[in-house]
Each structure stands twice: as structure tokens, then as C-alpha cells.
A and B are shown apart, each in its own frame.
Chain A
């Protein structure tokens, strides 16, 4: 049914149709309205056979989900930003134990400096923690990915993070097709765990494993993610057959066929990039887009196939591995490793801490990539004057003070000058 609805609320309704049996959450910033919506549905009885557990921290939220999942319940939680960091140890435990928990990450920046806005730093901080990570381009896809995530998680007994841009998607109200319970039931069978803590048939989960077995456990985790590379497109195709729309899979291409320049990006910025691609195509520029849905597992082969043939690849990502560059750009580089005639990869860090990524900036950036491509990392819309000012200040004064506060002071002085 079509609804004009907030993204978070729509996700809550979609997740409820997945019949979670335990939802645990720590309802404090950073959080989304998703668990609020689910809590409400449990209270009113709209979501039956589900226990909503209000825990004392994010660490507890995921730990309770781990316990619930090990006891055979379909378990769900949500977090973002510092919340994910606080549950970090449990994040590794959930995947190491092979528990099919689904967690929404309403992507936000990580402090310091304190920043509540959107970027992908939180997801990137846990990119190697053994969870599958799927990025939603729209709120429709966010709803759909949760349904596919439970299926995928339970098929492989491995947790899935559904990454949804905080605020930009979670707080946007738009037209979303909310699926029927019957269709979700048909797509997502009842949870049949591969391991259960059952007093009738006692087992232990989480034994200490020495050098003689640890590598094999990790190998099998990696093996399962490789299986997911096959399952993701299968489930997306099955989803399309039932629900009638494209959601999920490994990646999607847009006007990529004869493209000289291909952009690679994840999440909601793909919409803005598509509009930019259309405008640049109208100007006769051969440009296209590859939208990456699955970041873990990383679809190396599919990505290589999509990119080979282009001259330039511009990777636009909302995160940075400080001292290294963009994580996604580095992974894209890997996909092209040892490929004859591989395109040049140009890395762009954009949208950090909620800075809007606009069409005018993208136009400038992508035109530059065609005529004057750059090496290293380009920071989109970097305020170079402010950076120069701070660098100068730091060179001149030993006790130069905190960077963030200095920059805020320069900005406010600049604004005052402009006003005068």
C-alpha cells in the first residue's frame, strides 16, 4: 500500500512484517524513530509475539539481541554513530558466533568533534567486523532491504547491517510502498536456527578456540560472505518477482553502457548523482553511475565487470580512513587490481558530518575529472581559506588551541565581517 510516510516509520512497519520476536534498543541520541515505532507496535499489540526490551546501553542492546538470537528468536536492533562504537565488542561477537541478527544503522558521523549529522563513518568503523553491510539508496529500498536482510541473515546464519543515511532518509517523509504481511511471509520463511540454546538439548555456543581452530572459523565466515555474493542477486530477483520492484542485489548501473566516466557511490547520494548524470548527459558528456548496494560482502567481480571499459572512475564516499584516504575508493582499487586496461580511480570524500552534496558541486567535480583528473583524495567543497588560516595559526603559535573551536571562531568572524 502506498503511504506518504517518514522513512523511519516505514522501516518500522516493514520490520514488523518480518515478525521479529525480540527487539532491543537503547532509546537515546543517536537513535532513529524506527525502534520507537516498533515499541509502539508491540505496546498496542499490532506486532504480536514480540518482546521489546529497553536496555541500558547500546552494548546491552546488541548483547541482548545475541542472547535472544542464540535462544532461537528472530532478533532486531538499531543504532548509529557512537552507539555502534559502544557496542563494538558485541558486533564482532554476533558475527563470530554466526547469529543472524538484523540491525539498522541510521548512518551518522563519529565524534570528536561532536556531530550528529549524516555520513558513513559509523558503518566504515565496523566494515571488517564480519557483518554483511547493505546500503539503501531510497527509503523504499531501506524497507525492502530489511526484508531481504532477515532472509539472507537466516539463510547463512550471519548478521546483516542495513545502512540507511541518517536524517537524509530516516527523517524524510515520502511516498513508500509498504508491503503486505502475506507477501513478506511468502518471501521470508519462519526462522529455523542452525544453533539453539535449548535446555532440553544443551549445547554451548562461544567456546574458547585456540590456534588449532581459529583460522578455520574465520575462513568459514569469509566463505559464507562469498556465498552471499551469489545469494544477494538471487534474493533480489525473487523479491522483484514478488513485490515488483528492484531492491538490493550487489550493485546497480545507471546510464553506464557507453560511459567514459563512471561514478561509484553508496546510499542516498546516488539519487542526486543520477539527476546530475542526466544533466551532464544532456550536455553530451558520457557519464554513468554504479550504485553499490552490498559493501560487505564486497562484490569485487561484479564491480570489475561494471567498471572495465570506462576511462575514469570517480568514487564519491562519505567517510575517510584518516592517513589512508577513502575506504570505498581503496576497495574499488582492489576490484581493479591486475586488470588490463583498468580505468583510473579518483577518490572524493564528500558529505562529511552532514555537509550537503549538491548538484552544482558535483557538476564541477565531474567535469574536472574529465579534463583534469587528480591523484590522491579530493575533499569536495573544502573551505581552503579556513584550512590555510588554521595551518598558518598552528605554525605561528605553539599553544594554538583546539582545531574545531578555532575553525568555528574563524567562521563566525567571517560571517560577522560579511554582515558588516
Chain B
């Protein structure tokens, strides 16, 4: 977890910093999707989601509680990991942004498939034909995930040894 940089291990450090940049972005992206986007867009803004639709099984309710708690924790943790990378080295912002987009898409995909369809914790909206909502939700999640992965790939650091062989 805490790999302390030493002057002789610059190459390992830069790989570690890159891993930590990506981890930070993915955690932060998944976290804001789970906590902030869900709360402000779907609960408070559109008011599509209900606080609790009273039709959930107890297992699903417990799973929802864990999702909720982990969502907030990884939002906070992702930001502190970013601060940690920043105090050790230059942050590759394109790489971090790619990881955030992939994290948002990955969480929305998980939410759309696991929470909405398999566990049935809650639906996207009530009193409407859900199919079109589910298709749009899962479709945008897949698009965000793919865009994030492409951004991540384009911002890949130069292969170790090529730039640091001196």
C-alpha cells in the first residue's frame, strides 16, 4: 500500500504512481456515480428515484446500504489518493480523467444491471414503461465505460525502458 519512493527505484515508482492515478480516478468516478450523481440527479433533481419503494427484499436493502456506504467512502478515498499522487509526482490529468469516466460508466453499468434488474433494489422511474429507460441507462453506461477506456489507453504512459533507459 505505502511504497515509499527511494532514489534508486524511479521506474517502479512511476509505474506505482500511474497505478495509483488510475485507481484514484476509477474510485472517484464510481463514487460520484454512486453517491453524488444518484443523489442530485435522480433523487433530488428529476425525482425519479424514490427514497425507498417499499418493495425491496431485506437482502437487497442491505446490499443497497453497503453500496451507499462504499460509494461515499471511495469518493473520499479517490480524492485523497489523487492528492497523494500529486505530492509525489506530476499527475497525468488525461489519464486520471479517463479513469474517472471509466469509473462512472462501470458503476452505472453495475447499477443498471445488478441493482435495477437482478437485485431489484429500485427502478429508474416508476409508472412508466421501463424498457426504454433501461436501454438508455445501460447504453449510456457502456458508452461512458468505452470512452473512459479509450481515453485511458490514449493517455498511457510511455513504456518503461523506452523513455527512462538513460
A and B: partners? no
Binding site for A on B (CB under 8 A): none
